[in-house]
Amino acid sequence: GIQVEQSPPDLILQEGANSTLRCNFSDSVNNLQWFHQNPWGQLINLFYIPSGTKQNGRLSATTVATERYSLLYISSSQTTDSGVYFCAVGNAGNMLTFGGGTRLMVKP
């Protein structure tokens, strides 16, 4: 099956800092999504981005499908950005393979 690796595994930032999270995957995919899991366990969909670039407020994402990686950018981080960020990929409908996640802590 597809392998998904996320880096870094842990990240500590001061409020206001910027960060880049990376997702590498082992095979071609037609489905790639980024999620944020908040401290209460709720998974929030950030982006559906199998290719190209998208932006939503302070967050943006870029997927380079031919090179099998995706990047999530967080600018001007806030304490509410804390949690775990997951990249999930697939090529069979909604059957997604999740990466191990990046655990982000933003300090005030």
Among 28, 48, 51, 53, binds another protein (CB under 8 A): 48
CA pair distance 78, 37, nearest whole angstrom: 15
Quick check: 91 and 27 in contact, CB under 8 A?
Answer: yes
Residue 33 found at the interface with another protein (CB under 8 A): yes
Residue 40 found at the interface with another protein (CB under 8 A): yes
H helix and E strand count, the chain:
0, 11
User: ∠ CA(10), CA(11), CA(12), 5° rounding?
Assistant: 130
CA 94 distance to own-chain centroid: 17
Residue 93 found at the interface with another protein (CB under 8 A): yes
Stretch that binds another protein, among 17-25, 51-59, 60-68, 91-99 (CB under 8 A): 91-99
How many residues form the binding site for another protein (CB under 8 A)?
25
Least separation in angstroms between CB 108 and another protein: 26
In the block, residue with structure tokens 């995919």: 29
Residue 9 found at the interface with another protein (CB under 8 A): no
CA pair distance 2, 15, nearest whole angstrom: 35
Stretch that binds another protein, among 7-15, 35-43, 52-60, 66-74 (CB under 8 A): 35-43
Least separation in angstroms between CB 35 and another protein: 8
